[in-house]
Amino acid sequence: MRVTIFGSGYVGLVTGACLAEAGNHVMCVDVDADKIERLNRGEVPIHEPGLDALIKRNAEAGRLQFTTDAVVGVKHGLFQVIAVGTPPDEDGSADLRHVLAVARTIGQHIDEYRVVITKSTVPVGTADKVRAALGETLTARGQAVEFDVVSNPEFLKEGAAIADFMKPDRVIVGTDNPRVTELMRLLYEPFTRNHDRLIVMDIRSSELTKYAANAMLATKISFMNELANMAERFGADIERVRIGIGSDPRIGYSFIYPGAGYGGSCFPKDVQALERSAGSMDYDAQLLTAVEAVNRRQKEVLFRKMQRHFGGKLRGRTIALWGLAFKPNTDDMREAPSRVLMEALWAEGAKVRAFDPIAVSETQRIYGDRADLVLCESANAALEGADALAIVTEWSEFRSPDYEHIKSQLKQPVIFDGRNLYDPSFLTRLGFTYYGIGRGATPPA
């Protein structure tokens, strides 16, 4: 099949590469000429395990192309996939300017039947706006060309996106036309062959499903962090509690790990957007408001623990920070807890020596050169001369460190563990002062 994807960001590139890998002919269109030039040189602008090789293989095979020419893109594909960004507006609602701009672009150049797919994460009712924008553009041209609009939200986890696309848990299709259902089934058939994972519903339900999924996961995280903060005050260990409640199959173990708060491009943005969408319908989504509030507060927990440990005297201190990305296996720093921690430390006159296996370059891009930030080439290098160590991202290489080496490099043997990677009792026996999240014996923040 021939597929055109508007937007060569995270969702667009993963979707395009995976569809091409299944034998489809995919054309990715983007207004960023520099990005397209880089992609045509074989440079992938985002980090996602396995994506570089997938793009290279399919580009060389002629199944994956990159262009800035929207006219060629509209002519190319039966399927016109909208995968552009929907950044939060000033009030937290989703900004649909890019989505609707693509719809008008398709309307300006369409001359035969097309299936227009919204894959961007968008509020309920966006498909209606896309249909209206496209139809108005056709009317202005004096043309009557048939098209259908489909909601097909993505459920890709950063760091595991290729596996998520190739072996999906589900493929949600929102449509009001049975013919489109069959076309979408054919498009996804290579990825759902062992059993049918296509779930067809009306368009508005499909649009809400994406927001509902992310809001549910964010709620589990915030709820667990709320429990962790209570556990510290009760003298309980949240890790024992986590195992106790996770054994209940109605709850399960996924997304009940306490920590320093969630970040990334999806959860913060989508929870806010869903809350604002509810408000636009005169509904006060109190639970979503609380989820946001708890997460904002949780990102400050490590800093408050440091303030208490050092008696409020952080000026002149140096903190070693392991982990900058919002989660492992990505370089994404959007809404990352590390940013909140570093900026709070800098405001108090402290310095940071930081290491991340992948996100160092992204951190440099965001903050540039500054005297109170040293970006290190290894975890051990970050320890040199630091007053304490903070764990912010749960990269695998941080799970079993050389504790004696850590102790020898720090001015004080103090660890602030924002991901509960370590055993408090074991570290205490080794002579460390240990602060986890909800670990009972540690003083609450």
425: Cβ contacts below 8 Å, ≥ 6 apart: none
Q: Angle at Cα 267 formed by Cα 262 and Cα 273, nearest 5°? A: 135
365: Cβ contacts below 8 Å, ≥ 6 apart: none
Q: Which of 174, 80, 81, 158 is nearest to 119 (CA)?
A: 81
Helices (H) and strands (E) in the chain, counts: 18, 14
Return the amino acid letter for 309. H
Q: What gap in Å lies between CA 376 and CA 369, rounded to an integer?
A: 13
Residue environment code for 136-150, b if the CB has 16+ CB neighbours within 10 A, otherwise e? ebbeeeeeeeebbbb
Query: What's the Cα-to-Cα distance from 423 to each of 322, 356, 418, rounded to whole Å?
Result: 17, 22, 13
Q: Is 266 a catalytic residue?
A: yes
Cβ pair 276, 412 in contact under 8 A: no
36: left (phi over 0), alpha (psi -120 to 50) or beta: alpha
Map residue 355 onto helix, strand or coil. strand
Q: In whole angstroms, how large is the CA radius of gyration of the chain?
A: 24
Return the amino acid letter for 117. I
Query: What's the Cα-to-Cα distance from 179 to each of 106, 410, 412, rounded to whole Å?
Result: 21, 65, 67
Q: In what order do the strands lie in the sheet with 373-375?
A: 373-375, 351-355, 318-322, 388-391, 414-417, 433-435
236: Cβ contacts below 8 Å, ≥ 6 apart: 438, 440
Residue 433, number of CB atoms within 10 A of its CB? 14
Q: Angle at Cα 316 formed by Cα 360 and Cα 390, nearest 5°? A: 45
The residues that are catalytic are 266
